[in-house]
Amino acid sequence: MDIVRDSRNGSLTMLSPKKEMKKGEEVFLCYAHHSNVSLFSEYGFVTQRTVDDAKAGGEVNVDDIMEAMIAKRKEAKWLQDVLEVMGYWGYV
């Protein structure tokens, strides 16, 4: 089963398996390539990584760079407050 979003109008389509599922049969979900940080924070689990996974991509933490850029702006306190309220400041 998969859910696909149409980029033209935002509608969702649910796709079902090609074969009939039997009661008690194991279902596998594919989350595509995400870092373990994303998987853990969004879905509550991590996967065992391989060398290929590490080369395929992931996330880079740029918090220190963004904090330094924001700190230089005159509206730094306001920006930090807004980001904190929205859950984007101070969370890993």
CA dist., res. 39 & res. 46, Å (int):
6
Domains contained in the chain, number: 2
Q: Tell me: do 77 and 33 sit in the same domain.
A: no
CA dist., res. 49 & res. 36, Å (int):
8
The string of pLDDT tens digits covering residues 26-68 is: 887 777 677 777 777 778 887 776 555 555 555 666 778 888 9
Q: Tell me: do 65 and 39 sit in the same domain.
A: no
Q: Which helix (H) or strand (E) holds 15?
A: strand 12-15
CA dist., res. 8 & res. 69, Å (int):
35
pTM score: 0.37
Q: Tell me: do 76 and 54 sit in the same domain.
A: no
Q: Tell me: do 14 and 48 sit in the same domain.
A: yes
Q: How far apart are the first and last CA of the chain?
A: 31
Q: Tell me: do 10 and 50 sit in the same domain.
A: yes
Q: Tell me: do 71 and 88 sit in the same domain.
A: yes
